[in-house]
Amino acid sequence: MQKEKEIRCVTIGGMLLNILLAAIKFIVGTAGNSQAVIADAFHSLSDIVSDIALIVGIKFWGNPPDDDHPYGHQKIESIVTLFIGILLMSVAVKLVWNAVDSFGNTRSSDTLIIAVAGPLLSIVFKELLYRVTVIIGKRHKSPAVIANAWHHRSDSISSVPALIAVVVTAFFPKLYFVDQIGAVVVSLFIVKVSFDIAKPAFEVLTDRTHNAELIASIEKELVNNYEILSFHKIRARNAGGNYFVDLHIQVNGKLTVMEGHRISSELKYSILKSNEDIVDVLIHLEPFAHECLNDNVMQNI
């Protein structure tokens, strides 16, 4: 499948780059005595774990529905996305703790300018990797791939304070605490990114409907259908970027079963055609109750 092939290729390429960058940053950070660069190296290591989670996840969430999973396996993608967010958060908390714990400690040696190589390479290559990955993620409407892309960008941006910290402490050794501050800034940035990644995935897993535009497009189809006298209980369940919709409609109670079925089938086709993110529509058909009519939209009954 082309989607799986592209996602797997960009993820494996990113993983190999992450391994290389993590090794470089750890080596030059250790050699250059820079805590900020070492913290940045651990950030790259967390990228490797998320890459592996994505590679494993893509093998499952693309599987078709089966007897045990009649709605498909798309929510596995949300689980992977949530895992990436939690992983980032745990790494950030550990780095903040280490940086804060080291405040006030004297150094046996000064920061060396060699440490600048790690964050410089990270800024350039991880930004390029972000751009490629986010294009693939948007093309295939994959929140997990987009989350991983932002994981790459967080590595790139978090390298900026690490770079500043190295330059300042290398040329002004008395300001060694700037390196520790840089590590904290890197970690706090990772916390923010991890929250932004985990929140949407959590909302999908808890079936939170927040796509007002999607609901509005469905209501438009209902209002424009003269055979539908009222409607209510429109619900949309998000599963890996796709939506399962169910709703209640009211029609003339004197219609035959065949006519009611025709109206429901035509409405389902119309809704599916109007929004490619909707993969299925379940319609509950009811006889119209005049006393419940309220400006063409009936509240829950």
Query: Domain locations in the chain?
Result: 2-205, 212-292
- Output the pLDDT for position 105: 58
Stronger pLDDT, 259 or 46, i.e. the higher one: 259
The stretch 9-34 carries a mean pLDDT of 89
For residue 98, give every residue at least 6 positions away whose Cβ sits within 8 Å of its Cβ, in sequence order, or none.
35, 39, 183
Residue 4 has pLDDT above 60, yes or no: yes
**Is residue 119 predicted with pLDDT exceeding 60?**
yes
Inter-residue contact 57 to 148 (CB < 8 Å) = no
Task: Name which residue leads in pLDDT, 93 or 294.
Answer: 93
Would you place residue 295 in the very low, low, confident or very high pLDDT band (cuts 50, 70, 90)? very low
Ramachandran region of residue 104, left (φ > 0), alpha (ψ -120 to 50) or beta?
left
Other CB atoms within a 10 A radius of the CB of residue 223 amount to: 12
**What average pLDDT does the segment 40-64 reach?**
78
30-40 mean pLDDT: 81
Across all residues in the chain, what is the average pLDDT?
82
User: Which residue do the tokens 């008395």 mark?
Assistant: 174
Architecture of the CATH domain 212-292:
2-Layer Sandwich (3.30)
**How far is Cα 64 from Cα 53, in angstroms, rounded to an integer?**
20
**Residue 277's pLDDT is what?**
82
Topology of the domain covering 2-205: Alpha-lytic protease prodomain-like (1.20.1510)
Q: Is the dihedral of CA 204, 209, 212, 214 positive or negative?
A: positive
Confidence tier at 271 by pLDDT (50, 70, 90): very high
Quote the tokens at residue 297. 């939209």
pLDDT score of 259: 94
Percent of the chain with pLDDT over 70: 89
Q: Which residues contact 259 (CB under 8 A, 6 or more apart)?
A: none
Distance of alpha carbon 173 from alpha carbon 10, whole angstroms:
41
User: Which residues lie below 8 Å from residue 217, measured CB to CB, with a gap of 6+?
Assistant: 274, 275
